Structure 1
């Protein structure tokens, strides 16, 4: 049994037939298993006290920070019909290169001589403006002439009034003379009649005095009528002044009205000319949009419209272009509970799809194949998917990002936070608590007293 002798019975005796041997064998196996289990548990327990770097993981994709460097659609400003393509998918184009040629689909632009006919309309309207300007000048001269004629008529009438007044004055004097002569003739007739009654004068002398008296009386009547006529003429001349003013006021108003009509027609022609010139500019600029060009240098990635003769609407993408020069960035989406822990300037570890990497989020120094970035922007509002968008740019102080990295590549991001023991991190994950972000600063009792007490929630 002890293998002292050279003659061994090991091969002739089956130890498995003895119960005592079986018990000893099982006892050894159980003891070894127990020790191995205890050793594993001890190692696992010790590992729980190893340092672990808390992190926030998020997913996103590669993009660009500048909007003009992102893939964009090439659109048509006007509706049209595809006539000829000048590029293929994958072609590189410079800024201003022609992508496609389109033709008109709207009936108001079908005329091939549209610009020439619009020019003719502009010239016709311009000539009408000149005509109205000449008419306006003629009416202004007419108005000035009418004002001069009115002034002349008024001066003539005033002169006639002066003459009438002078005649009235002269006739009044003559009337006084005739009346005096009539009185003298009457006195002479009376004395001659007395002398005739006494026989001192003859009948012929008496009749002569009577004739003179009648003649003097007739001259007085004639002069009175003449004076009355002169006064009536003065009244008529005075009335004629108002008539002349009314007549010329009507003529002047009519001339002014015609002038204003000419000015109004001229302004309408100016407005119509401006509208036609605006239409001409629109037509001229519209023809420039028949050739759709590349907005910037880049690669034609996809043509969204196909074939020849297809009609496209304005504002609809015809093709997409990827700019040739761009600066990469990463766009990730974080949970709302993680946003308070983040701020611009923090470092982020990135793993790009297609680039082999070994990532240990809690031990970043042991990770390989990862790249570094810096947070440059955080959205202040939540997106439709319930996450907040974060923009990350390359960290120029560390390893450069891959040159072959393309926009749209998937990214896994790890934002490093506080270092804690592994057991604490396991406990936090099981309870769903957010990572630690409080700094270990002592708060004085005075500051605690200043804070308002928390209200209990019922």
Structure 2
């Protein structure tokens, strides 16, 4: 008896399709083997920026001081120049509330002393002028006196010549008169008269010689007086010149003191402006480390952190040393930011959802402390823009795109343990980096 249930369960009389489906499956696998596969490197990193001024900035106390007022709290958004907190002075050198005013008074006093010495130099210059004029006048007088004595000397020398001639004539006359007297040709009276004339001529010569010697002595005396006057005025001029140079030295010393005091005034004013800690840029205040009023801050001590508001984001990725030769500047990297859902197909990154395209702009040559090499990735302006909600330090997964190969080649490469193929990319130009 033929049972219908047996035919329905075992399909004894139906044709088998296993062979057909086997060939369909094998054909499909063969087709899949020739589909393209994008080689890639999986990396991890975090959100950062290329520019130092856009990184979180630490707030430091520029001077030691005591906190007397807070103007912000954690999480506040501030603008550049806003006051963070106010400090009071704690160093005894700066406790005087009129420190700047008193230092300025010292500057004025030093300026007054400098003006006094400048006036003294003016007086000394007048004294030098007067002494030089007096010296020239005195020397001129002595020169005139010497000239007069020289003229007198010339006259007396001529007078001496005349006296000598007269004496010689009187001597001849006396000798002839004496001989004539001895011969009895003239009387004794005539002889005595001639003898008196001879004696007068001798006396006249002696007087002229004495007068000539006195004139020469006067010339010597005037020359000595002239030398003494030169020495005296030279001493007076040197003393006055020394006083002038001393005053000039005092002025230079005062100029140094004035500059030092003015520098102190400028420093005191600058220090007073440091009592208010200001925001260096626009951003958000976080991680304030001091509790409240009255706490003491040391110099350069950290107060908190400012996270900049405007940031040109970049991604820092870390690459294994074995994968480093595969990474090049300008290489495409698909980024998956933490907190943003994504569907990723490893071999077909272009079909993935929730990924954002970036390009490598720099690869550090020095290995990091974590044993990996760091590379910097920026947004690819020609692709979908990065989400504005990302924050500094957020985690990032990256897929560095390499060469496109068939699936059979990728399977064969993995089975044999070969590395991915090198991927030649066009380096990003300087202009593109700037953009």
Aligned to 1:232: 217
Query: SS at 2:306's partner residue?
Result: strand
Q: Distance in 2 between matches of 1:111 and 1:398?
A: 63
From 111, 114, 123, the equivalent of 1:138 is 123
Aligned to 2:83: 98
C-alpha spacing 1:129/1:358, structure 2 compared with 1 (3 Å): same
Aligned to 1:154: 139
The 8 Å contact of residues 62 and 411 in structure 1, kept in 2 or not, is answered as: yes
The within-5 A match list for 1:110-259 is 110-259=95-244
**Which shifted more, 296-305 or 179-188?**
179-188
C-alpha spacing 1:432/1:208, structure 2 compared with 1 (3 Å): farther
Aligned to 2:377: 392
Find out whether 1:55 has 2:40 as its counterpart: yes
Aligned to 1:382: 367
The 8 Å contact of residues 132 and 265 in structure 1, kept in 2 or not, is answered as: yes
1:429-452: per-residue Cα shift (whole Å, max 9, x none)? 46654320267xxxxxxxxxxxxx
The 8 Å contact of residues 56 and 415 in structure 1, kept in 2 or not, is answered as: yes
Find out whether 1:271 has 2:235 as its counterpart: no
**Which shifted more, 306-315 or 294-303?**
306-315
Structure 1 spans left out of the alignment, 5+ residues = 7-34, 440-458
Q: Distance in 2 between matches of 1:177 and 1:257?
A: 56
Aligned to 2:291: 306
1:273-301: per-residue Cα shift (whole Å, max 9, x none)? 11111111111011001000111222111
Aligned to 1:358: 343
Q: CA deviation at 1:366?
A: 4.2
Q: Distance in 1 between matches of 2:124 and 2:415?
A: 99
C-alpha spacing 1:51/1:189, structure 2 compared with 1 (3 Å): closer
**Which shifted more, 81-90 or 390-399?**
390-399
Q: CA deviation at 1:332?
A: 1.0
C-alpha spacing 1:297/1:214, structure 2 compared with 1 (3 Å): same
Aligned to 1:78: 63
Q: CA deviation at 1:373?
A: 2.0
C-alpha spacing 1:293/1:48, structure 2 compared with 1 (3 Å): same
Structure 2 spans left out of the alignment, 5+ residues = 6-18, 425-435
1:161-182: per-residue Cα shift (whole Å, max 9, x none)? 2111111111112112222232
From 307, 323, 328, the equivalent of 1:322 is 307
**Which shifted more, 224-233 or 261-270?**
224-233
Q: Distance in 2 between matches of 1:85 and 1:336?
A: 49
The within-5 A match list for 1:3-22 is none
The 8 Å contact of residues 403 and 423 in structure 2, kept in 1 or not, is answered as: no
1:60-106: per-residue Cα shift (whole Å, max 9, x none)? 11123333222211122222222221111011212211111112222
Q: Distance in 2 between matches of 1:90 and 1:398?
A: 33
Q: Distance in 1 between matches of 2:182 and 2:405?
A: 172
Task: State which structure, 1 or 2, has the greater radius of gyration over its C-alpha atoms.
Answer: 1
Q: Distance in 2 between matches of 1:213 and 1:252?
A: 58
The 8 Å contact of residues 188 and 209 in structure 1, kept in 2 or not, is answered as: yes
Q: Distance in 2 between matches of 1:245 and 1:268?
A: 34
1:184-220: per-residue Cα shift (whole Å, max 9, x none)? 3323333333343344443333333323322221221
Aligned to 2:429: none
**Which shifted more, 430-439 or 382-391?**
430-439
Find out whether 1:344 has 2:368 as its counterpart: no
Instruction: Provide the alpha-carbon RMSD of the alignment.
Output: 3.0
Aligned to 1:28: none
Q: CA deviation at 1:160?
A: 1.5
Q: CA deviation at 1:427?
A: 5.0
Query: SS at 1:184's partner residue?
Result: helix
Q: Distance in 2 between matches of 1:295 and 1:4?
A: 94
Find out whether 1:289 has 2:274 as its counterpart: yes
C-alpha spacing 1:316/1:431, structure 2 compared with 1 (3 Å): farther
The 8 Å contact of residues 337 and 434 in structure 1, kept in 2 or not, is answered as: no
**Which shifted more, 427-436 or 315-324?**
427-436
1:379-419: per-residue Cα shift (whole Å, max 9, x none)? 34433433332222223433333332222110000011112
The 8 Å contact of residues 344 and 376 in structure 1, kept in 2 or not, is answered as: yes
**TM-score scaled to structure 2, two decimals?**
0.85
The 8 Å contact of residues 357 and 379 in structure 2, kept in 1 or not, is answered as: yes
